[in-house]
Amino acid sequence: MKAHFLNRVTPYAFLAPAGVIMVIALLYPLGYMIYGSFRDWDPSQNISETEFVGIKNYITLFFDPAFHESLSVTLIFAGSVVIAEMAIGVGLALLLDRNLRGMSILRTLFILPMMIAPVVVGLMWRYMYHPTVGTFNRTLKSMGLQGVDWLGQNALLSVIIADIWQWTPFIFILALAALQSLPRSALEAARIDGATPWQQIWYIKLPLMMPVLVVTGLLRLIDAFKVLEVILVMTEGGPGLSTEIVALRISRTATEFRELGTAAAMSNYLLILLLILTLAMLAFTRIQEARTARLARQVQEES
């Protein structure tokens, strides 16, 4: 009886430390944030002194044009980086999925950007984008072309390019892994069936990679919605609100505008958005697994 009890408790005992950290580091702040989002809260106040305002913060935000602007910047940013990164990353993977001399070195080089700290990436690109001494404009001018006002007129495009540079490798390595685990013989069968290289990609490789690509894309999308450091370092959200993504607006609302309640409500909006994406991703994998299991059961029942 006692041994039985110990057996049942042991796993939970091992899980307990992680559970405690989760509660302190995740659930407590989360609860605090949700609680705070219903209050009119200045950073100088203790939370117990604040006034309960119901869902006023949420309603204010809902009609706030600056928040709309920030949300649409975030959507444009996340949408375009994910589409561009998927296209380039998968394209590169399809191109480099072969045994060439030095390919392993090339692959390592490709994933370097991902390993650099975001703040460093931001600084690096800020210097490269510099209107007069930056790499890009100096190169353009040496070729006799006009410089581009990277972080001014084209700020959003510029941060999008930097993000693509940093995160395409992520898609690339996952797509390459997916490609290399494809059944070789199915591809050989396609060659014999008369598929050109393009048709092999279109009819065989991409459909078979799709489950991995969907999950990868959703992961990237979730990440892109949370991006902060690179843009903070490069533009601080400017000029104007042109690159002020939601995460940046949240931090400014809390520090510059001193409206903790509104910032908390904004965080909750973002949280809901990310939750929907995460659930979509989980649902997708669950559906895939369920389908495979169902097919296997069907075969078993018949035999």
Residues of the shown chain interacting with another protein in the complex, contacts defined by CB under 8 A? 183, 185-186, 188-196, 199, 203-204, 207-208, 210, 292, 295-296, 298-299, 302-303
Closest distance to another protein from the beta carbon of 245 (Å): 37
Distance, CA of 37 to CA of 261 (rounded, Å): 4
Closest distance to another protein from the beta carbon of 293 (Å): 10
Closest distance to another protein from the beta carbon of 100 (Å): 16
Q: Which residue, 22 or 186, is less far from another protein as judged by CB?
A: 186
Q: Where are the alpha helices (DSSP H) in 111-183?
A: 112-115, 118-128, 135-142, 155-180
For the purposes of burial, counting CB atoms within 10 Å of the CB of 82, is it exposed (0-12), middle (13-18) or buried (19 or more)?
A: buried
Distance, CA of 53 to CA of 57 (rounded, Å): 8
76-83 long-range contacts (CB < 8 A, ≥24 apart) are: 76/156, 77/156, 77/159, 77/160, 77/163, 77/224, 77/227, 77/243, 77/245, 78/221, 78/224, 78/225, 78/227, 80/160, 81/160, 81/163, 81/164, 81/167, 81/220, 81/224, 82/217, 82/220, 82/221, 82/224
Closest distance to another protein from the beta carbon of 200 (Å): 10
Closest distance to another protein from the beta carbon of 196 (Å): 8
Tokens at 112, concatenated: 């370097």
Q: Which residue, 11 or 194, is less far from another protein as judged by CB?
A: 194
Q: Which residue, 126 or 205, is less far from another protein as judged by CB?
A: 205
Closest distance to another protein from the beta carbon of 17 (Å): 41
DSSP per position, 242-270? TT--HHHHHHHHHHTS--HHHHHHHHHHH
